[in-house]
Structure formats: C-alpha cells, structure tokens
C-alpha cells in the first residue's frame, strides 16, 4: 500500500474498492502532520535565534520521522486487517463459529485505527512544542500540521467506532471507546490551541 504513488493511492481511494478507505486516509493525514513537524524542525535547527531550543528541536526531528513512518505503516496495516473482517462477514449466518470469528475480526480491525489515534496524540505533543519553538518563517506549517493531526485522530476514531458498535463483547467495546474518546479529546484541544495560536499570529 505504501509503495504506491500518491496518484495511485488517491485513485484507489476514489474507487469502489474497500481499501484504502477512511482508515488509510486518516493515517495518511497523520503521516502528513508528522512530516510537517519534521519540516518545521529542519527549518529551525541550527538557527541562532532558536539556539535555546536546539536540543528540543533535535529530539523533535528524530521523533517526528519515526511517527511519520509509523503512520505510513498503519496505512498498510489498516488495509491488511480489513481482509479477515470482510471474509468473516461473508460467512453464512447459520454456520457454526461465525460469531466468534466475526468478533475476533472486529477487534483486530479496530486496533489499527486505535493505534492511529495514539500516534496522533504523540504528534500533537510535538505540534504543541513547535508552536512555541519552531521558526516563525514556518509557523503556518505548524498550523497545517495541527489541522492534519486533528483530522487524523477524529477520522481514525470513526473507524474504531464502526467496529466497536458491532461487537458482542460490550465491556471490551465500551472500554476501547472510552480510551479513544479520551485521546481524541486531548488531541483536538491541543491541536485547536496550536492552530488558533498560529492563526492569531498570522492575522495580527
């Protein structure tokens, strides 16, 4: 999935094919957000004006690259976990063991988007830092990173909920929903604050 060109990815996303879909798109937005964090850090590192933040910027450069790769891997993982779920849905309802197979597939399918939400939370922490420590010449890119990160988290959450809604293990489903909702709330608040901080500075 990640070896394809962006043009091919977008064409397949536009098609009637089951994957890539909203999960893959959410992971892509997360990867874009992390990449923008790297860009801002690269434009900040080594600059005398931001020397007091140099160690932090070097850390951000390393971690943002890892987050970008993690999100890219989740595009592929999201597509992979859909296949067993699709097969489970195709099992005749009267076949013995169908419910157990479907339940396991739903739990597996929910894991990839949940991991996207976790990763978006980590990226949002970098965005929060860069809104203060990043080069003012690239501050608009911090705002774009914030918007993309928020979209990644809220979009991935939809793909958690569409799976938990159908789970028979309601305790598991409700706990995963609770954890997802908590993380998304934090990401949204942090990204909104960074976005508005950037926006206020640009429009002043």
For position 5, what pLDDT does the model report?
86
Show the beta-strand stretches assigned E in 102-189: none
Looking at per-residue confidence, does 120 or 15 come out higher? 120
Cα–Cα distance measured from residue 87 to residue 69, given in angstroms and rounded to the nearest whole number? 29
Cα–Cα distance measured from residue 186 to residue 121, given in angstroms and rounded to the nearest whole number? 7
Closest Cα partner for 201 from 161, 119, 142? Answer: 142
Give pLDDT tens digits for 84-102. Answer: 888 888 898 889 899 999 9
pTM more than 0.85: yes
Domain 20-203 classification at class level: mainly alpha
Domain ranges of the chain: 20-203
């Amino acid at each position: 999935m990640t070896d394809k060109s962006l043009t091919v990815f977008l064409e397949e996303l536009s098609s009637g094919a089951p994957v890539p879909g909203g999960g893959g798109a959410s992971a892509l937005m997360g990867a874009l957000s992390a990449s923008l964090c790297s860009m801002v850090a690269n434009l900040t590192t080594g600059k005398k004006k931001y020397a007091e933040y140099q160690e932090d910027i070097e850390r951000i450069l390393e971690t943002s690259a890892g987050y970008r790769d993690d999100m890219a891997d989740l595009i592929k993982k999201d597509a992979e976990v859909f296949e067993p779920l699709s097969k489970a849905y195709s099992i005749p309802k009267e076949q013995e063991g169908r419910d157990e197979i479907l339940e396991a597939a739903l739990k597996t399918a929910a894991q990839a988007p949940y991991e996207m939400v976790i990763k978006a939370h980590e990226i949002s922490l970098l965005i929060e830092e860069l809104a203060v420590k990043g080069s003012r010449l690239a501050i608009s890119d911090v705002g774009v990173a914030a918007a993309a990160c928020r979209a990644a988290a809220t979009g991935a959450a939809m793909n958690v909920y569409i799976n938990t809604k159908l789970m028979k293990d309601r305790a598991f489903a409700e706990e995963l929903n609770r954890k997802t909702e908590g993380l998304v709330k934090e990401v949204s608040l942090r990204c909104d604050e960074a976005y508005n901080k950037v926006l206020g500075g640009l429009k002043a």
